[in-house]
Chain A
């Protein structure tokens, strides 16, 4: 017995020693398979995690854990006074990865940058349709085809984008995954070999990790990029173990088979927090759930009616019942992690008596209304029907009768856009690029009435502010304009803001240096394992 124990101890010691000497491997239990490895072709976060944040870099990068941008492949940039010309200076000495399948002969230059955008922009580019049905959804969705007038090569290390109109979020947009910089040299070689589709299967970029192999629906392997311009990573190997079931991911994490997992079941989080081997990081997601009144219809065209209803919604009860606490009540239309969030704004207190009085003063009696509840779970609202039932009970206390209606999801999105829609719509939004414009102008601007502006709310004062902010390039000036816009929003109350959900990331205790991205990305640059 004793002998056996010593033997076991010796073996254990040997394994510990050998593992310390050998490569550090970080295993991420990812939630699904990537659609492919060319991030510009797709829209799913899973694909961006597997391709954009590992293999590639962008001209600008989001600072880890924030929505602010910092220099990436572009070392610096200049914006012309009219705001229509963006000149990017490319960082010298940015090396492409050297892999089994390709050996680059040069560093990043202007050709790579121009190629990365023109393949999405120009229909006559040979790479525009290199996979059947390439739709470049994000590129088009962000309005780039109508925005970019031309992309010019000033010299080998300088690129100039000419825009058709002023667009302040442009810098944030080129930090998005679809704007990843691919190697023109690699692409040319693939084209010469007649294997263009490999760009979507064996990616090659400048990022912190280089692609090794992908076993469909099972595992993706990466190795640290030796010559990465930001310095070689502390971990040597990165593995994505694809595990679609949240309960299985949790079991694997518990057993130490992976170091970090996304999207736990809300009900499991309490148990995770009690596990001494795990730590749970929580952060407000870049999202908002709201109830949009139809501000064109009586009596909801009356600010006081909207305000009174807002005061009757117990947001904390919704957070508790729907998210089991994994959310924060919202007071502004943009989430607190976003720059220009106006924390000085006071939320309407939950006060049924005052709400009732306000309704009476507005001359509204026996109001009955519809509340639309989404049929599906979204990150910002896990169970809309339950939230609607809570609101229904609250409204009943101030004498407002509520009927809850719902439609199939696509139908719901479509019908809720109608200008003469009957009832208040529950919906939400998750930010794309971390720019307040993506919330305030996209969801509440006059242009979006009959579309994303579900409140059908066109307020001149508010709209002037956000349009002005969109065309301003100075961040401090923009912050001021957006803060002011939030004041107008709160005063006019076209929505009842409901919540910002928390994104919860459980990981092993030994994981260090992981920054949760407010944009919902899982990027492992700078991550280390410390026993």
Chain B
């Protein structure tokens, strides 16, 4: 008895490893995706160890060193490698700490949108009928608004701040998950294994979340990866419009907004936060593309 169980486990283990190998094979086919993954991992490390890496505290104001250029330019100081902002705060330290906020925003928004989206989408796809109609109409209404505008309205109602901005963005993104999940659940619901499970006596909840849902994860993972970057971008946009993170939080979009008057006079204050947003979003998008290549059966070249 024990023997068979361990054999079973080993077999499962082997098949999981094989699937992982296959995934990596397809993922690594896409060079951009690998680079994106590398940059993303680096960002995560930077975010985790920001307080250790950063040369200064992100909000420490050095009043004698306002608007210093980066170290390679004339007048720059080695103590402030990427220069300082108009309040004399070190740009590098603020950018490093900003990575924490951006990734945090990405994770929270995606998790929030993903979990609510999956639950609502599964219910809609599984039960159909009036429940489905009501849910889809509601999602259509949300989708009809330009996403940033809707987020802006929500933040205006809730009050500006990072938490409210995250809630607003999650709410705006959640219909995408609902639709994806609903479509996938509807496709799977008629399959034989679902009928088999039902005949075996599985209840609705078990059928929904244990039987069907695990078979719908591939498109959701891809969507999650892509919306991770959208979340960062939207949070930056809200920050730029003064509705997101409030000063002195070193959030990249807010940093950009606070310094745009210096675009001609002190390029580094504007350029670096913009570059940081660009690199992060690009890396995550590339990674998302690779995930889609690896997980979407339709795209697999075999």
Interface residues of chain A, those whose CB is within 8 Å of chain B, are 266-267, 314, 317, 320-322, 375, 383, 385-386, 388-390, 392-393, 404-406, 408
CB-CB < 8 A to B86: which residues of A? 321-322, 386
CB-CB < 8 A to B30: which residues of A? none
A389 with B63, Cβ < 8 A, contacts A267-B264, A267-B265, A375-B242 known = no
In the complex, are the beta carbons of A314 and B63 less than 8 A apart? yes
Bound: A337/B70 CA distance, A: 41
In the complex, are the beta carbons of A389 and B262 less than 8 A apart? no
Name B63's contact: one of A317, A392, A408 (CB within 8 Å): A317
Cβ of B66 under 8 Å from chain A: yes
Residue pairs across A and B with Cβ atoms less than 8 A apart, 13 shown, are A267-B261, A267-B262, A267-B264, A317-B63, A375-B242, A383-B261, A386-B86, A386-B87, A389-B247, A390-B61, A393-B61, A404-B246, A406-B242
CB-CB < 8 A to A389: which residues of B? 87, 247-248
Bound: A386/B261 CA distance, A: 12
Bound: A317/B61 CA distance, A: 11
**A186 to B: closest C-beta gap in Å:** 46
**B17 to A: closest C-beta gap in Å:** 52
Tally chain B residues at the interface, Cβ within 8 Å.
Answer: 18
Bound: A266/B265 CA distance, A: 10
In the complex, are the beta carbons of A393 and B242 less than 8 A apart? no
Q: Tell me what chain B mostly uses at the interface: helix, strand, loop, or mixed.
A: loop
CB-CB < 8 A to B156: which residues of A? 408
Closest chain B residue to A392 by CB distance?
B248
Interface residues of chain B, those whose CB is within 8 Å of chain A, are 59, 61, 63, 66, 86-88, 156, 160, 242, 246-248, 258, 261-262, 264-265
Closest chain A residue to B63 by CB distance?
A317
Name B66's contact: one of A320, A388, A405 (CB within 8 Å): A320
Closest chain B residue to A382 by CB distance?
B261
CB-CB < 8 A to A405: which residues of B? 246
**B155 to A: closest C-beta gap in Å:** 11
**B114 to A: closest C-beta gap in Å:** 31
Bound: A388/B258 CA distance, A: 12
Bound: A10/B247 CA distance, A: 63
Bound: A314/B258 CA distance, A: 20
**B256 to A: closest C-beta gap in Å:** 13
**A187 to B: closest C-beta gap in Å:** 46
CB-CB < 8 A to B248: which residues of A? 389, 392-393, 404
Closest chain B residue to A247 by CB distance?
B264
Closest chain B residue to A394 by CB distance?
B61
**B87 to A: closest C-beta gap in Å:** 6
CB-CB < 8 A to A314: which residues of B? 63
Bound: A440/B258 CA distance, A: 33
Closest chain A residue to B242 by CB distance?
A375
CB-CB < 8 A to A404: which residues of B? 246-248
Name B87's contact: one of A267, A321, A375, A408 (CB within 8 Å): A321
Q: Which of A322, A386, A392, A406 has the most CB of B within 10 A?
A: A386
In the complex, are the beta carbons of B264 and A386 less than 8 A apart? no
**A271 to B: closest C-beta gap in Å:** 10
Bound: A317/B89 CA distance, A: 13
CB-CB < 8 A to A375: which residues of B? 242
Bound: A386/B61 CA distance, A: 12
CB-CB < 8 A to A383: which residues of B? 258, 261
Closest chain B residue to A321 by CB distance?
B86
Bound: A321/B247 CA distance, A: 15
**A288 to B: closest C-beta gap in Å:** 22
CB-CB < 8 A to B61: which residues of A? 390, 393
**A115 to B: closest C-beta gap in Å:** 47
Bound: A267/B266 CA distance, A: 10
A385 with B247, Cβ < 8 A, contacts A321-B87, A393-B59 known = yes
**B242 to A: closest C-beta gap in Å:** 6
Bound: A117/B183 CA distance, A: 73
Bound: A420/B246 CA distance, A: 24
